[in-house]
Amino acid sequence: GENVEQHPSTLSVQEGDSAVIKCTYSDSASNYFPWYKQELGKRPQLIIDIRSNVGEKKDQRIAVTLNKTAKHFSLHITETQPEDSAVYFCAARGRAQKLVFGQGTRLTINP
């Protein structure tokens, strides 16, 4: 079945620096790749998503890139701020309509 690998599991960056989180997926039929941010005790919140007909998408300080050939996609956060600290999950949707999630990345922004 579909498998999504996410790296790194933890990431610590200085405020103002950039953070990059990477995911790979196994199902070549996957066509939708959302990223969710989850703060402690809260629900996952969609922050950006990309579909397979697009290579890159940007929304202010957040961008996502997709390489279909290599079956990997990445989240880029620039000019990080303390409120960016959270756990980030990538996901992929393949032949079935369910989302398959990565294991999560705990991002810590150091002031």
Partner 1 sequence: NAGVMQNPRHLVRRRGQEARLRCSPMKGHSHVYWYRQLPEEGLKFMVYLQKENIIDESGMPKERFSAEFPKEGPSILRIQQVVRGDSAAYFCASSPAPVETQYFGPGTRLLVL
Site of interaction with partner 1 (CB under 8 A): 6, 32, 34, 36, 42-46, 49, 89, 96-104
Name 1's Cβ contacts closer than 8 Å, sequence gap at least 6.
Answer: 27, 100
Is 78 or 108 the residue whose CB approaches partner 1 more closely? 108
- Look at the block and give the residue holding tokens 């999560």: 104
Q: Maximum CA pair distance of the chain?
A: 42
Smallest gap from Cβ 23 to partner 1, in A, equals 11
**68 vs 78, beta carbon nearer partner 1:** 68
**C-beta separation of 21 from 11 below 8 A:** yes
Q: Minimal distance in Å, beta carbon 81 to partner 1?
A: 23
Q: Kindly state the smallest distance separating residue 34's Cβ from partner 1, in Å.
A: 7
Backbone phi, psi, residue 89, to 5°: -120, 135
